[in-house]
């Protein structure tokens, strides 16, 4: 069945360092979404990418969707302690109608 893999599982960085998480799908996706879950909280929608090769920015966050629409990445520039949490990608396949989440990357930022 459809699988979405995300790496790394954990990342510890010093405040000010950059951070990247990668997402790969076993099937071509209709769109990909990114969510952030703070410790003890629930996932919160960050962004959706739809077009092949699409790049979107939100302040220090840069999201990319691969040309083949099977992979995506989230890059955070100059991390801050407020960036702490788990970042999930979620791939939507219109053929199956399922939104499948990756395992998530948990980011720890040391001040």
Partner 1 sequence: DSGVTQTPKHLITATGQRVTLRCSPRSGDLSVYWYQQSLDQGLQFLIQYYNGEERAKGNILERFSAQQFPDLHSELNLSSLELGDSALYFCASSINPGTGNEKLFFGSGTQLSVL
Closer residue to partner 1 in complex, CB, 80/96: 96
Q: Least distance in Å: CB of 108 to partner 1?
A: 14
Q: For residue 34, give Cα distances in angstroms to 2, 19, 111.
A: 17, 15, 25
Q: Rounded distance, CA 54 to CA 62, Å? A: 11
Q: How far is CA 83 from the centre of its chain?
A: 13
Closer residue to partner 1 in complex, CB, 13/47: 47
For strand 4-7 and strand 55-58, is the pairing parallel, antiparallel, or unpaired?
unpaired
Q: Least distance in Å: CB of 49 to partner 1?
A: 11
Q: Least distance in Å: CB of 8 to partner 1?
A: 13
Closer residue to partner 1 in complex, CB, 74/100: 100
Q: Which two tokens stand for residue 16?
A: 């000010």
The residues of the shown chain that bind partner 1, judged by CB under 8 A, are 6, 30-31, 33, 35, 41-45, 48, 50, 88, 90, 92, 94, 96-104
């Amino acid at each position: 069945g459809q699988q979405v893999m995300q790496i790394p599982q954990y990342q510890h960085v010093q405040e000010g360092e950059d951070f990247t998480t990668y997402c790969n799908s076993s099937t071509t996706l209709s769109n990909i979404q990114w969510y952030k879950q703070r410790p003890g909280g629930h996932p919160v929608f960050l962004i959706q990418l739809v077009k092949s090769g699409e790049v979107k920015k939100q302040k220090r966050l840069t999201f990319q969707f691969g040309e083949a629409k099977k992979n995506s990445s989230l890059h955070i520039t100059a991390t801050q302690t407020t960036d702490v949490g788990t970042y999930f990608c979620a791939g939507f396949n219109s053929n199956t109608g399922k939104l499948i989440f990756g395992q998530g990357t948990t980011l720890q930022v040391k001040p």
